[in-house]
Amino acid sequence: MLLPASSGRLLQQIAVERTIELTFELPDNANQCFYEEIQSGIDSVLEFQVVTGGHYDVDMALEDPTGKVLYKDIKKQYDSFSFKTETPGTYKACFSNEFSTFSHKIVYMDWQIGDPNKLNKAVTSGSHAVSQLENYAVSIGDKLRTVDDYQTHHRLREATGRKRAEQLNERVMLWSLGQTAVILLIAVAQVLLLKSFFSDKRSRY
């Protein structure tokens, strides 16, 4: 099946856009980097969030192919950084948990390469004849991206909330066990104290 020339251009624009979505483990005292080959003049958005572990914070740095630091921050729970590539080559995003000596963390990363609205702009720019099918495709694509973003953020919030609830439940249980142990010790001490009073009286007579 042959496609019109306008449809071919649209497919090329779709191919340029891609999203890297990862959820990975970051052990204590560890540093993990991700590499992506990107051409120059490409709009990109890098978003990350610490899902579980410690104080929900990591160090994050983004470098271009020349080693120039585009973004760097320490002990962040979540953040989003938008940039436009100036140099073609391999871009590096590193996450560090080296400041933590025992906290194992899980980090979510969403790296969008290319403008997600580029297809919509191309269709509505008037550079070629817009068919009803293309309009429907653009509308469905936008709605699917919105739904996917909502689902992803909902899953992250649910996972973070569940982990915090589990930690709170564990602390409450330990506190309850501690209180129970203290009450039992006090009860035993009182019994022994009262018993010593009666034994002293019997020894005097």
CATH of the domain at 70: 2.60.120.380
Nearest-angstrom CA–CA distance, 72 and 102: 23
Is the pLDDT confidence value at 126 over 70?
no
With respect to residue 181, please indicate whether it lies within any of the assigned structural domains: no
Nearest-angstrom CA–CA distance, 152 and 49: 11
Instruction: Return mean pLDDT, the chain.
Output: 80
**Confidence (pTM):** 0.62
When divided into structural domains, the chain yields a total of 1
With respect to residue 44, please indicate whether it lies within any of the assigned structural domains: yes
CA triple 131-136-142, angle to 5 deg: 130
With respect to residue 12, please indicate whether it lies within any of the assigned structural domains: yes
CA nearest to 57, candidates 19, 103, 15: 103
Per-residue pLDDT band for 195 (boundaries 50, 70, 90) equals: confident
Least confident residue range of 42-46, 102-106, 110-114, 149-153 = 149-153
Domain that holds residue 34: 5-160
CA nearest to 58, candidates 25, 92, 20, 91: 25
* Lookup: tokens for 73: 């921050």
Could you tell me how far CA 109 lies from the centroid of its own chain? 5
Q: So what's the pLDDT on residue 120?
A: 56
Give the pLDDT mean for 26-45.
91
Q: So what's the pLDDT on residue 156?
A: 74
Nearest-angstrom CA–CA distance, 64 and 68: 5
Q: So what's the pLDDT on residue 54?
A: 81
Nearest-angstrom CA–CA distance, 112 and 92: 14
With respect to residue 179, please indicate whether it lies within any of the assigned structural domains: no
Nearest-angstrom CA–CA distance, 5 and 121: 17
With respect to residue 14, please indicate whether it lies within any of the assigned structural domains: yes
- For residue range 140-178, what is the model confidence (pLDDT) as tens digits? 877 887 787 777 777 777 777 777 788 788 889 999 999
With respect to residue 202, please indicate whether it lies within any of the assigned structural domains: no
Q: So what's the pLDDT on residue 204?
A: 52
Helix, coil or strand: residue 191: helix
CA 122, 123, 129, 133 torsion: positive or negative?
Answer: positive
Is the model more confident about 65 or about 119? 65
With respect to residue 16, please indicate whether it lies within any of the assigned structural domains: yes
With respect to residue 173, please indicate whether it lies within any of the assigned structural domains: no
Give the pLDDT mean for 115-137.
62
130-135 long-range CB contacts below 8 Å, 24 or more apart?
134/6, 134/7, 134/10
